[in-house]
C-alpha cells in the first residue's frame, strides 16, 4: 500500500519546493554549504547585489532553510536544515547522470551518422 500523504503536508512540501525554485536562492544556499557567512561574503560569492541577497536570505530564513545570527553590527547566515544540502546533492547527482546519458546518446548518433544528411 502506498503512503498516503495528507493534503496539508503536500501544501507544505510545495511551499518548500517553491522556495527552492529560484536560481538566486539556490546560489545563496550553495554559498552557505561551505559554512556560516556574513551577507557581504554571500553577495561576493553569488554576484548579486546586497538588496537582492538580503531579500532572498529573508525568505530562506522564514522558510527555515537558513538560520541567522547577529554579532555586533554583522549578521551571519548558515544552512538551517540539513535537508537542503542533501536535496541539492540528490538533484545535482540526477542532473549529472542525465547529462552523461545525453552525451552517450549523442555520441552514438554522431557515430552512426554518415554526414550526407
pLDDT tens digit string along 2-18? 689 999 999 999 999 99
Measured CA to CA, the distance from residue 89 to residue 77 in angstroms comes to 20
Cβ neighbors of 84 (< 8 A, separation 6 or more) are 20, 29, 65
Measured CA to CA, the distance from residue 47 to residue 108 in angstroms comes to 39
Give the CATH architecture of domain 8-112.
Answer: Orthogonal Bundle (1.10)
Domain parsing of the chain, residue ranges: 8-112
* Mean pLDDT lowest among 55-59, 99-103, 109-113: 109-113
Measured CA to CA, the distance from residue 3 to residue 18 in angstroms comes to 23
Amino acid at each position: 500500500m502506498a503512503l498516503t500523504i495528507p493534503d496539508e503536508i503536500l501544501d507544505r512540501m510545495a511551499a518548500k519546493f517553491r522556495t527552492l525554485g529560484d536560481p538566486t536562492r539556490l546560489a545563496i544556499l550553495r554559498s552557505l554549504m561551505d559554512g556560516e557567512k556574513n551577507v557581504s561574503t554571500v553577495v561576493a560569492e553569488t554576484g548579486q547585489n546586497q538588496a537582492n541577497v538580503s531579500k532572498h536570505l529573508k525568505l530562506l530564513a522564514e522558510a527555515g532553510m537558513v538560520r541567522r545570527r547577529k554579532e555586533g553590527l554583522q549578521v551571519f547566515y548558515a544552512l538551517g536544515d540539513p535537508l537542503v544540502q542533501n536535496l541539492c546533492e540528490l538533484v545535482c547527482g540526477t542532473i549529472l547522470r542525465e547529462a552523461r546519458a545525453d552525451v552517450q546518446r549523442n555520441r552514438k548518433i554522431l557515430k552512426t551518422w554518415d554526414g550526407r544528411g
